[in-house]
Amino acid sequence: MRYTVLLLALLVMFGGCNDDSSAESNSQNQSTTTDAQLYMLGKNAAGFTFYKNSTDTLVKNGGSGHPDSHLRTRYNAIAAQHLDANGKVKAGTVFADSSLIVKELINNGVLTTYVFLFKKKGDANADANGWVWAETSPTGTPTYPVTNKGAGCIGCHSAGIDYTRMNDTHP
């Protein structure tokens, strides 16, 4: 009798554990990031750290696929943990989940586009490396939707640190 009770207790414990872990992995893996969410998370620069700790606009790199003459790039608090004291991405970085990188495209001093890279492994709109790719207008209209999953972006970005290109093009 004592063993039966023990066995039952163990079954309940392990059953409970399994339920918990699957619920947890579901909530992590079944997110679906939208263009609107990225816009809301990324449009406001408050709490972001700028590349090289500078809000100056940079002349775009010749190899950049992005239009517009100037840009600046900023990192949310989670992504910024992967920057060194000079505000450059640390060598060998693999950005943590919920890292958000926003590039602002600027022409003649006017913001024309937000470009987003958002790390969310297992997200319905993430690529195989866990990056969600998007672009919107300054008012949030999608110009490159998350559902494209980085098609046309990834090839060019694969040369960088965890698919980011600021370090090699703006050293």
10 Cβ contact partners less than 8 Å away, ≥ 6 residues apart: none
Among 41, 78, 111, 156, binds ligand HEC (CB under 6 A): 156
> Quick check: 133 binds ligand HEC (CB under 6 A)?
yes
- Of 102, 97, 98, nearest to 51 by C-alpha is 102
**Interface region with ligand HEC, contact rule CB under 6 A, candidates 12-20, 25-33, 80-88, 150-158:** 150-158
Torsion sign, CA atoms 133, 148, 170, 44: negative
CB of 17 to ligand HEC, least distance (A): 39
Supply 88's token pair: 């450059």
Q: How many residues bind ligand HEC (CB under 6 A)?
A: 25
Q: Is the sign of the CA dihedral 3, 5, 6, 8 positive or negative? A: positive
Binding status of residue 135 toward ligand HEC by CB under 6 A: yes
| Degrees, nearest 5: CA angle 44-45-47 | 110
**Alpha carbon separation from 161 to 89, 134, 138, 170 (Å, rounded):** 8, 19, 27, 13
Answer yes or no whether residue 63 interacts with ligand HEC by CB under 6 A: yes
Asked whether position 115 contacts ligand HEC by CB under 6 A, the answer is: yes
Q: Of residues 79, 83, 100, 101, which one binds ligand HEC by CB under 6 A?
A: 101
Indicate the residue among 21 and 32 with the shorter CB distance to ligand HEC.
32
Binding residues for ligand HEC (CB under 6 A)? 60-61, 63-66, 71, 73, 101, 103, 115-117, 133, 135, 144, 152-153, 156-157, 160, 164-166, 169
